[in-house]
Amino acid sequence: LAAGPLAGKRIIVTSGPTHEPIDPVRYIANRSSGAQGTAVARALRALGAEVVFITGPATVRPPEGVQVVPVETASDMHAAVQAALPADAAVFAAAVADWRVASASDRKLKKTKDGMPRLAFEENPDILREVASQTQDRPDLVVGFAAETNDVVEHATAKRLRKGCDWIVANDVSPATGIMGGAENAVILITAEGEEHWPRMPKDQVAQRLAEKIAATLTPPVSG
Ligand code: C5P
């Protein structure tokens, strides 16, 4: 049995990109590697949490000792999160596609002389916003991520309010930072109390610090 400050706490972590099919052989994806979400899951596990790790098709391997739920699309991820609730906390580190192809073809699209295929899109469920706003089974702590390329604090602060989550872990994913797909991250943690600027450090140290803060919040030290 796990020991540590998070022993007995059930925590959902989403991670990785999603793949949204166009037809049986093609899909739309993004550059998320799943590295930061995987590191968060590993760090929470190391502090004793029971972790349900819901991961899209990531390029890094899932951590040991967690319950791995592999998914492909945002819809699958949504269903997996709902099935994993209730939980004490949920960390939404996945880079979920905002849109999916409205009617993915069940046959491979062919070149025709009629020209290019036209793809229509529809919106995916916003898993973070839904979980953060649900009145039944809302985790005590709901953490979202915000990948921004400009005005990071301003956008992330607005996002925290719009999504209804407790914390937003914001980072600058401009190509020049090398953060998306890289080994390091420089984050700003936005909470109701304000903003904390963390120095640039390896993603597993960001995860460690975040996991410790989650532990301190879920299990405040007993006084007296
Ligand atoms: O709105 P945006 O995609 O920038 O929000 C990012 C945050 O919301 C991340 O925590 C991400 O995991 C979560 N999210 C989600 N479901 C979506 C889109 C984003 O859970 N459909």
pTM across the whole model: 0.95
| Residues annotated catalytic, as ranges | 30
Q: Is the dihedral of CA 182, 159, 38, 34 positive or negative?
A: negative
* pLDDT per residue as tens digits for the range 106-123: 999 998 888 888 899 999
Which ipTM value was assigned to this complex?
A: 0.97
Pairing of strands 89-92, 10-15: parallel
* Nearest residue to 145 (alpha-carbon basis) of 208, 181, 91: 91
**Nearest by Cα to 13 from 63, 73, 59:** 63
Q: Is 10 helix (H, G, I), strand (E, B) or coil?
A: strand
Interval 181-214: pLDDT, tens: 788 999 999 999 999 999 999 999 999 999 999 9
- From the CA of 56, how far away is ligand 1's center (Å)? 13
Give residues (CB < 6 A) around ligand 1.
14, 74, 92, 94, 96, 98, 124-128, 144-146
CA of 36 to the centre of ligand 1 (A): 14
What are the phi and psi torsion angles at 44 (to 5°)? -65, -40
